[in-house]
Structure 1
Amino acid sequence: MPNIKSAKKRVKVIATKTAQNKAIKSALKTYIKKAYIAVDTNADDKVEAVRLATKKIDMAVTKGILHKNTAARAKSSLAKRLNASA
């Protein structure tokens, strides 16, 4: 455990940020999963689900949670499956 006051604060701040990042990443995975399910089941709102997932992926990149290439790969995969189902 840290003894210096600033080091103690860093531990607290990092724990808070880790929890926030984990929540955002978990929600992102949920949106992506819902989009895949919507496309695979040919749901009426599949385009909207993919659009929402894409938006959430972009937001995660902006917040620094995902790397831009990882996001591009995920969005490409979603779009590819959506176009194949049409």
Structure 2
Amino acid sequence: MNNLYIEVEKRLRNVFGENVNIDFHDEKGDGKHFYLYIVSDIFEGKSRVERSKVVYSLLDDLLKTDYIHALRLKLKTNSEIIN
């Protein structure tokens, strides 16, 4: 696991908690295009845009400096997964 994965996971777990379900991986194998799936009740009552803003605020500097060129998000609550 490279430093980018460690840094992203650390930032996410600081906000979402240690037991949150996170899947972060390189979609194209180029180290620039990523997929991020998070299941957390922090998203409860938030729109898709509001959920995305939470995540983007945590990774903003990595996106601006092109460590992450593209990021596809899937952000769900526990109740959305169960239903």
Please confirm whether the aligned pair reaches a TM-score higher than 0.5, indicating the same fold: no
The answer to which structure has the higher helix fraction is 1
TM normalised by structure 1 equals: 0.34
TM normalised by structure 2 equals: 0.35
The answer to which structure has the higher strand fraction is 2
Bigger relative contact order, structure 1 or 2 (CA pairs below 8 A, ≥6 apart): 2
